[in-house]
Structure 1
Amino acid sequence: MLLRSWIKNVTRLAVVPMLGALCSAGALAKPEVGISPWGEKDEIGRLNLMTPQSQAAIMARVNGAPAYDLAVEYFVGMPSWQAAGDPPYQMWMTHTPHGNVIADPMKVGEPMNQHVSYSGSAVSMYAHMGTHIDALNHFGLDGKIWNGFRADQHLGDRGWNVTGAEKLPPIIARGVMIDVAAAKGLEQLADNYRVTRSDLQQALAKQRVALEKGDVVLIRTGRMRDYDNAQAYMTNPPGLSLDAAKFLVEDSGAMVVGADNLSFETFPSEVEGNYLPVHTYLLAMQGAPIIELVNLEGLARDRVYQFAFVGASLKLRGADAAPMRPMALPVH
């Protein structure tokens, strides 16, 4: 296809726009990880675009309308990525009121267990399940991740000692939803549909919204309508094209990108020699975190396209992703 041909002939896939190193015209260059303009110790990439001033500016616009919960529920049988052998979500009871009467694990006696009911539970899950954010160590190129950190120097048995999910700060920023499905007059995009730069531009024009540097940009494909049916949700999902990702980050200045699908891009890959080109481009080359499985149905129903995005992820030390529960606060 045209995009594949373009990639084969481009001199270099741009990293952070301000870096802009160019090779000789027409030369074939291998994509490389981005080196941070925020310094050799930078571990959060484009999240550096967030400042106290930018946070205060968007929070000053909050209009007091009810918040939108952008997170999904976790449940046994929920959609999850298992193609590579990762475990599904599991939840089990470790204590039940009736079981405590019989087992008496606290050694308090039957009368006490009959009187004081005790329930306890445990969960087991892959880090990339439910509404979650990908840390910058999730994907790399040639043994290196964002900012040139090397796996052979920074990855141990207990996770990465750089760019782990615990390094991701709470995110308070202007949020923009781009409802691509609605802009096309659809409830949801077709299986395997690859969202283009033009799709995003046309949807933004219909919504009368312009992107700004430092935005959290969330793409609605409509796939969330199938969330309660894991097979339907996970089968051939639509996703973002590489050119569309470049439009969001390089041309529009997005800080974080996300969508209502899993796993953000679609398959098969549009780039020869890279089975997840959008992930490697965003995370490894641009330092842009990705949020997946974002529930945008409420925003779409009410046609809320701009909002204050507020979200924080679990501080899982050394992890490549973490669950989060973001909110959208409508603004003036």
Structure 2
Amino acid sequence: MKTKQLTKAVVAAGFVLGGIVPVSAQNQKESVSAKADWYPSSYGASDEIGAANLLTSDVVLQAMKLVKLGKTLPLAVPIDKNLPAFRHRSFNLYNIQPGEQAGNTTGPNKFTFNDELVNGWTGVGTQLNGIGHIGINNVYYNGNKAADFVTVEGVKKLGIEKVPPMVTRGVVLDMTAHYGKAIVPGDTEFTIADIQAVLKKQGITLRKGDVVLFNTGWLELIGKDNKQFLEVEPGIGMDAAKWLADQQIVAFGGDTWASEIYPNPTGEEFPVNQFMLAKRGIYNLELIDSRPLVRDKIWQFLFVLGQPLYIGSTQVNVNPIAIY
């Protein structure tokens, strides 16, 4: 199939890097140029980084004051072919030894090496979902229309390579203690009151530029009940999402795969992600392993993330670091 034909086929099917966007025939006919109350962005009509604009030097300096012991902790989960992932996604790694078949070596010093080839989706495992990842009727953050910037070889705007390093305060909210459950039930929607109660209990007040992470115990299901892990999950609803956004956070997420209650009681498909990413430019961090932080009651810490700069991607595997 020729490149142009392939591009048309992919776009028509509703595929966007890292995810699938259902596109009905009716929606395709509808105009996406109608006025909306969520764009242009408050950061400017040409802005491509959304809430990352909040990551000022003052925010960084304040967050650095949280480091008292000099301890570091990775927040990612290991990835292999068995890790459960969203719908169509998969991950396979192959070890290749080019030119070394039959025990061959190179040079008088018998040089050998291992290389790895990955065939997988960037949305498997712990990941940063950029603001170009989720749209509303093919319109994305700051009113960018898919037809204008989405190609089969990546997005021409809102790419993950545009996102600056995230160095800020990380906050983990232990919902397992709040509900008194080692694993929060999958149909649990976190309300504003729930979040405020946990913040009060942990002695935290949210501030501009924070990364807010929820600990639900959901990672305990991996390898034990992968079916349940993917079919449902606890998380914030729309009211809580709006409240969090109004606190001027830069990212939200936690130990689940979508960072919102799923399925949504309204029947809508990932409305919280639509609101946070497309409307407010707030990033999503999925499958964050906060269990060691919770065990040691480390509720706030220096959050550091420098993601791979895959040009044109809207999401990418990451390993954020907590320093405290």
TM-score bin (small chain): 0.7 to 0.9
SS for the counterpart of 2:185 is coil
Rounded Cα–Cα distance in structure 2 between residues aligned with 1:31 and 1:206: 39
1:187 Cα shift? Answer: 1.0
Pairwise mapping of residues 286-301 of structure 1 onto structure 2 (< 5 A)?
A: 286-301=280-295
**1:101/1:139 Cα in 2 relative to 1: closer, same or farther (>3 Å)?**
closer
Provide the TM-score with structure 1 as the length reference: 0.81
Is 1:89–2:88 an aligned residue pair? no
Rounded Cα–Cα distance in structure 2 between residues aligned with 1:61 and 1:206: 19
Is 1:325–2:319 an aligned residue pair? yes
Task: Give, as a single letter, the amino acid of the residue that structure 2 aligns with 1:91.
Answer: L
Query: Residue 117 of structure 2 is aligned with which of 105, 116, 122?
Result: 122
Work out the percentage of aligned pairs sharing the same amino acid.
28
Contact 2:210 2:251 in 1 (8 A): yes
SS for the counterpart of 2:100 is helix
SS for the counterpart of 1:77 is coil
Matched length: 290
1:186 Cα shift? Answer: 1.6
Rounded Cα–Cα distance in structure 1 between residues aligned with 2:111 and 2:49: 46
Task: Give, as a single letter, the amino acid of the residue that structure 2 aligns with 1:92.
Answer: Y
Residue 160 of structure 2 corresponds to 165
Residue 79 of structure 1 corresponds to 84
Task: Give, as a single letter, the amino acid of the residue that structure 2 aligns with 1:236.
Answer: V
1:36 Cα shift? Answer: 1.2
1:155 Cα shift? Answer: 1.3
Rounded Cα–Cα distance in structure 2 between residues aligned with 1:303 and 1:116: 48
Structure 2's unaligned 5+ residue stretches are 1-34
Pairwise mapping of residues 139-288 of structure 1 onto structure 2 (< 5 A)?
A: 139-229=134-224, 230-250=226-246, 252-271=247-266, 274-288=268-282
Contact 1:145 1:284 in 2 (8 A): yes
Structure 1's unaligned 5+ residue stretches are 1-29
**1:224/1:89 Cα in 2 relative to 1: closer, same or farther (>3 Å)?**
same
Structural RMSD (CA):
2.2
**1:306/1:70 Cα in 2 relative to 1: closer, same or farther (>3 Å)?**
same
1:321 Cα shift? Answer: 0.4
Provide the TM-score with structure 2 as the length reference: 0.83
Rounded Cα–Cα distance in structure 1 between residues aligned with 2:222 and 2:206: 28
Contact 2:134 2:274 in 1 (8 A): yes
Residue 64 of structure 1 corresponds to 69
Query: Residue 310 of structure 1 is aligned with which of 284, 304, 309?
Result: 304
